[in-house]
Structure 1
Amino acid sequence: MKIVKITMKAILINETDINKSVIDNMMLVFCTVIRYSFKKILNGIKISELEKMAAKKYNLNIRQAKDAVESARQTIRSQKELIKMNYDDYSKKVKAIEKILSDKNKKLSDKKKNALLSKLAKRQRKLDYWNNFIVTGTIPTVTFGRKEMFLRRCKGLITNKEWKDCRNNRIYSRGDKTKNGNPNLRVIVKDNMTFLEISTLEKTESNRAVKIQVPIYLPQKLSKKTKKINGINYRQLFLNHLQTGEAYQVEIIKKNDKYYCHITFELPETDVIYTGHNGVIGIDTNPDGFALTMIDNKGNYKWNTYLKQHELLYFKGNRRENLCGELIAQVVKIAKVYECGISIENLKFKNDKDVNSKFARIKNNFIYSKLLTMLESACYREGVELLKVHPAYTSKIGLYKYCHQYGMVIHNGAAMVIARRSYKFKESIPQILIDKYVNEKYKYKFNYYHEWKKWSIIDRNIKKKEEVKNPDFWIVNRKILLGLIV
């Protein structure tokens, strides 16, 4: 069974000075334990021993100690994964530049050659830097409280109190189903009001934690006109989850003297109502929006459109997240209207190649992972079937086979291929392309190649013979290039 989790952003309200003091003290102790555990793990202390040591040293219950130690362990683990990823990326970048410099058939000017040598030296230094951590088994220096704020403190731009507030600004508690959700940071409902029950560090005479209750606002956006819920009804989703007694994790983060709560819980399992039996909408994901093409269950074209959001290219933060949500809502609404499923590419982007500055900016702003995660969650909630397919040659097949036929741009052509691939349809190559771009001597052998290799050969031969530098050139001049008109 597939499990999909969602994170709700709530906020503590009407906190008293006593409650603020208690929470701030807990944050100080919790973050101190994280830093203490971080050093001990690097020194080789076992996790089981460290949890007992932290609980005794800082007067925590065993669950609080385990959460702090786990947070430190995850920090170290993420750093090690980051080292491997950066090493692989820079090793591929170095090989790519060396390949260009060693290519005897490629004539390079002195200026270009010097630029590549300079870039190669820079990439090699980075590669050696990350390789050193792998060889020595260490990790880069970790600054708790953000490196940016540390540098500002070193320059005297912020006070010591502001720096300490950055270092000690969070509490984290994992959920536990056997304890009805979360034992240390529990959300409770009393008289239609919600409270966060916090297990403090103080003890009663019976050696049990003193608990405080702070009102918490669970997000629920009401329309001013219709008075109905706009977007996701997080409050009701979470209240329904509370009734099941399932686990949920809570993290309190202090920012600008406000206490924000990030509550993560599992979405309830929903029945898939809108499936591919009535057709599929293929989606080609781009930095500025979605290209949509719908086909019926026999693979025949029905319609296409492009949902653009140019602001995705340059907006950041909450505004970008809102735009993603609006885009996802449009797609799911269309799928529900046509009562069909959705098909997308299973893309994985890696920063392992040097590209020109324009594409680098676009790629840096391409929040594909966020769009994919939000789309997957929305489809799961609304009962829409989501299918993921291999992305190989979808754009090339769409360009050479479907764009001219249905008057589509390359992105919608790719979306049609994605939709057809979800039904496992084969994409045969038009005979006119085989006759013109496959050598007579290799035609017999060509028929035994894999489908994707055939399209790779056709694409390579078209670019080599016709010097097609962009998709628009092929779409406009296709009949001339194929000799259909003079």
Structure 2
Amino acid sequence: MIVIQAKLIFLNQEDKQRALDLMRRWSSCMRFAYKRLLEGYDRKTLKRDLQGMFDLNSRYVDDAIMKARSTLESARELGNNPKKVIFGGRDLFKKLQKHHINGKAYERLKIRWQEKRKGNLYSRGDKSKKGNLNTRIEIKENGTFLRINVGERKYVYAKIEAGYKKNKRREELLQEITKSDIPYSVELKLKNGSIYAYFAVEEEYPEIKITKEKGVIGIDINAYPDNISWAEVDEEGNLTSYGSIPMPELASGSKEKREYYRWQYAHEIIKIAKEKGKAIVIEKLDIKDKGKKGDFSGRKSRRIRHSFSYKSLLSKIKTLAKREGIEVIEVDPSYTSIIGMLKYAPQYMITKDTAAAYVIARRGLGKEEKIPDNYMKFLNALTVEELEELKEHVKKTVRNKKLKKKHLKEIKKAIEFLQSLESEPGRVLKPLGGTSFSTHDFWRVLKAAVVIPLSPEKVPRDFSVLKELLIQGKWGDP
């Protein structure tokens, strides 16, 4: 989806008022349709009744019903009560209810809330009508204009100015859209007394030609240090090559500069995929997921919010891949870093970031990660005394003030696990056998029991020390 924002400049104040009246009626129609949909009304009945009620044509009413339905479905998907949706914004509405806000500050808030509540209009494109019938872009000698249908055979015109400062490239894009007769949607919004238009065009992508048939390339984007780690695997999931792309430009600079470089880095990933002839596997992240506590406490969520726009970069990779006919596979990111650092970083002598990219690639092929036998043998070989000593060491680590908070939960899980082992003398453990832990919990426990005692203050970047334990099963050296 390509979206172009522009400011509308009306030829006279009367035309602007007619457009504002249309937006007010359409917004009221959409809110009314939302209430009726909650009561179980169907689209056909609503469409027939709303046209006369709000003096809107059939297309405007249909678009209002569509927007109302999407708002309703979105509320249900997010687990919110659809009956408590507040048009105009819940945050602004709550601020208006506060008694300590009055005078000019209150009036400014009220105007902002009313603009968001009443200053909207949405008009879908139509391929059969060569663009958009209700809100059509027209090219004239003195510029590019938006023709808005405000009633039966009644139109107002507004000059399209692409942003606060005139942007010729955006205006050229709008003219190209008009000349090509492709459908485009237009959304009008009222902000600070001005009307802005958002033109949206859906791209037509070529057929997918590069698939996972010959293997994939896994992508792991890291906030610290800023880099993209990638790992190439064949169709069996074997590591064939790997590398990283540093991204120092994303650590600072203006918003426009960082956006430019995100596109450049996305192009580099696509170039690698095209050269290798392999699909791309990325982590499926959703910032709407607030974590178990609902406070965005998850490690991935913090990484998204406190570093560069992680999701934006992944979105650009997906967009460019679609344009090039490259398959993009999204996978669950859970524990990819832990599995990578414990299993593949020491095995292939690679960084934990590259190892995480390798796990992501294998997950894209549907490969499962089994816990190495020597890790299980290591835990089985521990005596009760050694388990007690290890548990005390872990408890001591918990009391270490220099320890990062994100490790505490893992360490406490490890203590719980070690206590369960102590109660089973003569046990023979299998992965998860006789325990209440999930596979992912086991990896987390293993990290706490093996990695953190080696480096309690921070996670090391070199895991070669684990190679003898993982490959040869050697342990016992203090």
- TM-score over 0.5 (shorter chain): yes
Q: Is residue 12–residue 214 contact of structure 1 (8 Å, CA) maintained in 2?
A: no
Aligned to 2:244: 305
Aligned-residue RMSD, C-alpha = 4.6
SS of alignment partner, residue 343 of structure 1? strand
SS of alignment partner, residue 328 of structure 1? helix
The alpha-carbon deviation at position 415 of structure 1 amounts to 0.2
Tell me the amino acid that sits aligned with residue 50 of structure 2.
A
Aligned to 1:267: 203
The alpha-carbon deviation at position 200 of structure 1 amounts to 1.5
2: CA distance between counterparts of 1:431 and 1:408? 21
SS of alignment partner, residue 139 of structure 1? helix
20 and 315 in structure 1: CA distance in 2 versus 1, 3 angstrom threshold: farther
Are 1:21 and 2:13 an aligned pair?
no
Aligned to 1:197: 147
The alpha-carbon deviation at position 244 of structure 1 amounts to 5.7
Aligned to 2:59: 63
Aligned to 2:406: none
The alpha-carbon deviation at position 296 of structure 1 amounts to 4.9
16 and 281 in structure 1: CA distance in 2 versus 1, 3 angstrom threshold: same
The alpha-carbon deviation at position 37 of structure 1 amounts to 3.5
213 and 353 in structure 1: CA distance in 2 versus 1, 3 angstrom threshold: same
Q: Is residue 9–residue 260 contact of structure 1 (8 Å, CA) maintained in 2?
A: no
Are 1:35 and 2:31 an aligned pair?
yes
Number of aligned residues: 410
Aligned to 1:386: 328
Q: How far does the alpha carbon of each residue in 1:293-338 deviate from its partner, in whole angstroms, 9 at most, with x for none? A: 23253633423215446967x9998787666545434433444465
Q: How far does the alpha carbon of each residue in 1:10-30 deviate from its partner, in whole angstroms, 9 at most, with x for none? A: 314553124423322222222
460 and 180 in structure 1: CA distance in 2 versus 1, 3 angstrom threshold: same
Are 1:214 and 2:158 an aligned pair?
yes
1: CA distance between counterparts of 2:28 and 2:50? 10
Are 1:168 and 2:118 an aligned pair?
yes
Aligned to 1:420: 362
Equivalent in 267, 270, 284 of residue 332 of structure 1: 270
Are 1:239 and 2:224 an aligned pair?
no
The alpha-carbon deviation at position 172 of structure 1 amounts to 0.7
The alpha-carbon deviation at position 376 of structure 1 amounts to 1.6
Are 1:295 and 2:242 an aligned pair?
no
2: CA distance between counterparts of 1:428 and 1:45? 52
- 5 Å-filtered alignment, 1:396-475, equals 396-424=338-366, 427=369, 430=372, 432-438=374-380, 442=428, 457=442, 460-461=445-446, 463-464=448-449, 468=453, 471-472=459-460, 475=463
The alignment's TM-score, normalised by the length of structure 1, stands at 0.67
465 and 342 in structure 1: CA distance in 2 versus 1, 3 angstrom threshold: closer
Q: How far does the alpha carbon of each residue in 1:36-73 deviate from its partner, in whole angstroms, 9 at most, with x for none? A: 44444456655433333321122211211222233334
Aligned to 2:421: none
Structure 1 range deviating more: 52-61 or 34-43: 34-43
The alignment's TM-score, normalised by the length of structure 2, stands at 0.67
SS of alignment partner, residue 305 of structure 1? strand
SS of alignment partner, residue 10 of structure 2? coil
Q: How far does the alpha carbon of each residue in 1:195-215 deviate from its partner, in whole angstroms, 9 at most, with x for none? A: 3222122x3xxxxx2234434
438 and 387 in structure 1: CA distance in 2 versus 1, 3 angstrom threshold: farther
Aligned to 2:416: none
The alpha-carbon deviation at position 184 of structure 1 amounts to 0.9
384 and 237 in structure 1: CA distance in 2 versus 1, 3 angstrom threshold: farther
2: CA distance between counterparts of 1:12 and 1:51? 31
2: CA distance between counterparts of 1:256 and 1:327? 36
Aligned to 2:466: 478
Aligned to 2:187: 251
Aligned to 1:96: none
Aligned to 1:353: 292
Q: Is residue 79–residue 140 contact of structure 1 (8 Å, CA) maintained in 2?
A: no
Identity of aligned residues (%): 25
Q: Is residue 47–residue 69 contact of structure 1 (8 Å, CA) maintained in 2?
A: yes
Q: Is residue 47–residue 62 contact of structure 2 (8 Å, CA) maintained in 1?
A: yes
Aligned to 1:155: 102
Tell me the amino acid that sits aligned with residue 31 of structure 1.
S
Aligned to 1:283: 219
302 and 12 in structure 1: CA distance in 2 versus 1, 3 angstrom threshold: same
Tell me the amino acid that sits aligned with residue 9 of structure 1.
I
Aligned to 2:390: none
The answer for unaligned runs of 5 or more in structure 1 is 1-5, 86-132, 204-208
Q: Is residue 263–residue 316 contact of structure 2 (8 Å, CA) maintained in 1?
A: yes
Q: Is residue 396–residue 455 contact of structure 1 (8 Å, CA) maintained in 2?
A: no
Tell me the amino acid that sits aligned with residue 282 of structure 1.
G
Equivalent in 109, 133, 150 of residue 183 of structure 1: 133
2: CA distance between counterparts of 1:316 and 1:142? 34
Relative contact order (alpha carbons < 8 A, sep ≥ 6): 1 or 2 greater?
1
SS of alignment partner, residue 67 of structure 1? helix
Equivalent in 3, 6, 17 of residue 8 of structure 1: 3
2: CA distance between counterparts of 1:363 and 1:257? 34
Tell me the amino acid that sits aligned with residue 291 of structure 1.
I
Tell me the amino acid that sits aligned with residue 266 of structure 2.
I
2: CA distance between counterparts of 1:384 and 1:65? 39
Structure 1 range deviating more: 355-364 or 141-150: 355-364
The alpha-carbon deviation at position 283 of structure 1 amounts to 0.9
Q: Is residue 12–residue 217 contact of structure 1 (8 Å, CA) maintained in 2?
A: yes
Tell me the amino acid that sits aligned with residue 353 of structure 2.
H
57 and 319 in structure 1: CA distance in 2 versus 1, 3 angstrom threshold: farther
The alpha-carbon deviation at position 339 of structure 1 amounts to 5.2
1: CA distance between counterparts of 2:166 and 2:63? 36
2: CA distance between counterparts of 1:385 and 1:428? 27
The alpha-carbon deviation at position 182 of structure 1 amounts to 2.2
Q: Is residue 452–residue 459 contact of structure 2 (8 Å, CA) maintained in 1?
A: no
2: CA distance between counterparts of 1:410 and 1:472? 9
1: CA distance between counterparts of 2:112 and 2:296? 40
2: CA distance between counterparts of 1:65 and 1:57? 10
